[in-house]
Amino acid sequence: MADEIFSTVLGELEENGLLRRTVSFEACDGRTLTRNGKQYLLFCSNDYLGLSHERRVKDAVIEAVAQYGFGSGGSRLIAGTRTPHERLESQLKDFLRTEAALLFSSGYCANSGIIPAIAGKGDAILADRLNHASLVDGCLLSRAEFLRYPHRDMAALEKLLKKTSSAKSRWIISDGLFSMDGDLAPLDDICGLAQKYGARVYLDDAHAFGVLGDGGRGTPAMFGVEGKIDLIVGTLGKAAGGMGAFAAGSKIAVDFLLNRARSFIFSTAMPPAVAAGNLKAVEILGECGAERADFLLTVNSFHTELKRLNFALKAEGYIIPLVLGNASDALNAARAFWDEGIYLQAVRPPAVPEGTARLRLTLTARQTDEDRGVMLGAIRRIIPPAL
Ligand SMILES: Cc1ncc(COP(=O)(O)O)c(C=O)c1O
């Protein structure tokens, strides 16, 4: 019975070019992927600085497996906390210059667990319309009044702030570097409005942490608003090259989350070896200023090249959407790149709004000048110049 319903839905998805499938590779070296013996240049990874394949990180993981075993054996509050978890939390708070930090198993767990802990009935959440799905789900779970403003529209945000003046408390929630559009939230304006109307700011800096801003401290450092954000969530599965996430803020905020965020309390702690790998990765993020600067220069050059090809570029970093509109067109374009030995994926609704299906191209520090040249050649051949 249930399968009948499921297969109807799957059929509809397939018809509309929206069916999803995993694609498996037998090898990956951070720069290329291999599938059925064929090698592809990797152009859709969030491993922006290539740390997932960094030798020092891999060694740290292997050592920690030998010392602590595989799993953590329980939630953080029962028997799952080991030295690497606490060291990583301490390192993250130092890195971001906050008072404290708390680990979560993933960014999805962090957002879907933290938001319902900090906002509830009688509160209001004002959120950018293009926020990541994990933020949206956290907002829906919270039972707070959930209002969305058009992407980066500060006049609309201000209107919502005026409209919600009677809420018990108000949170403005935004991505820092938007995951699918690659542009930045106007964080200085957001913080200014929050201050003016007595609202609080929740920032998901998943894609900027470790790469953007002075010292890789993300969009708060970039916009000069460090210390003005109530809670910062970051993930360790992107520039840190591992997995997991954290919330950073005041000591009181972190103690509150430890007691109230259900996805922290009721979930197995990340394996100690993952924490140890993250620890090494964040240490490297703290020391790799020159590599980070080089990488950002190559990102700028790539933007220049794309503009030369007449692309109206709205991306401000290493996430570059090539918007095609229709889901099937995006799928066909992805296949054309695969044929040219380049791997990237079509991103379709509901990950992006209807009519904005796209290829989400990402740049990483592992790619070479030659790789980027191959990519530009393929874009010229595959993507209509009107974009
Ligand atoms: C902005 C943002 N927040 C949260 C997440 C979820 O993080 P994780 O993959 O660690 O669950 C993502 C994932 O892509 C993201 O883009």
Ligand 1 atom closest to the Cα of residue 235 is: 10
Q: Cβ atoms within 10 A of the Cβ of 124, count?
A: 22
Of 204, 208, 197, the C-alpha closest to 173 is 204
> Is the CB of 204 within 6 Å of ligand 1?
yes
Q: What is the predicted pLDDT for the residue at 310? A: 83
43 in Cβ contact with 342 (< 8 Å)? yes
Domain that residue 205 falls in = 55-287
In a domain, 194, yes or no: yes
Asked if the model's pLDDT at residue 364 lies above 60, the reply is yes
Q: What is the pLDDT of residues 95-153, one digit of tens each?
A: 999 999 999 999 999 999 999 999 999 999 999 999 999 999 999 999 999 999 999 99
Q: Whose CA is nearest to atom 14 of ligand 1?
A: 179
> Is the CB of 48 within 6 Å of ligand 1?
no
In a domain, 205, yes or no: yes
Q: Please name the amino acid found at residue 359.
A: L
What's the predicted TM-score (pTM) here? 0.96
DSSP secondary structure letter of residue 271 = P
In a domain, 246, yes or no: yes
Q: What is the CATH number of the domain that holds 310?
A: 3.90.1150.10
How far, in Å, from the CA of 238 to the mean position of ligand 1? Answer: 8
In a domain, 82, yes or no: yes
For residues 169 and 245, state if they share a domain: yes
For residues 45 and 80, state if they share a domain: no
For residues 251 and 376, state if they share a domain: no
> Is the CB of 179 within 6 Å of ligand 1?
yes
Annotated active-site residue 251? The verdict is: no
338 in Cβ contact with 330 (< 8 Å)? no
| Active-site option among 106, 134, 179, 267 | 179
For residues 279 and 321, state if they share a domain: no
- Give the mean model confidence (pLDDT) for residues 297-322: 92
Q: What is the predicted pLDDT for the residue at 384? A: 73
Q: Please name the amino acid found at residue 24.
A: S
In a domain, 183, yes or no: yes
Asked if the model's pLDDT at residue 205 lies above 60, the reply is yes
Q: What is the predicted pLDDT for the residue at 176? A: 98
For residues 369 and 248, state if they share a domain: no
Asked if the model's pLDDT at residue 385 lies above 70, the reply is no
Q: Cβ atoms within 10 A of the Cβ of 296, count?
A: 15
> How is 345-367 classified by DSSP, letter by letter?
-EE-TTSS-TT-EEEEEE--TTS
Annotated active-site residue 207? The verdict is: yes
Q: What is the pLDDT of residues 31-78, one digit of tens each?
A: 999 999 999 999 999 999 999 999 999 999 999 999 999 999 999 999
The percentage of residues in the chain with a pLDDT greater than 70, rounded to a whole number, is 99
State which of 236, 266, 287 marks the end of a domain: 287
For residues 33 and 106, state if they share a domain: no
For residues 132 and 205, state if they share a domain: yes
Q: What is the predicted pLDDT for the residue at 100? A: 98
In a domain, 15, yes or no: no
Q: What angle do CA 24, 26, 30 make, to 5 degrees?
A: 95
Q: What is the CATH number of the domain that holds 103?
A: 3.40.640.10
Asked if the model's pLDDT at residue 25 lies above 60, the reply is yes
> Is the CB of 202 within 6 Å of ligand 1?
no
DSSP secondary structure letter of residue 184 = B
State which of 269, 287, 305 marks the end of a domain: 287
State which of 260, 287, 314 marks the end of a domain: 287
d(CA 191, CA 22): 39
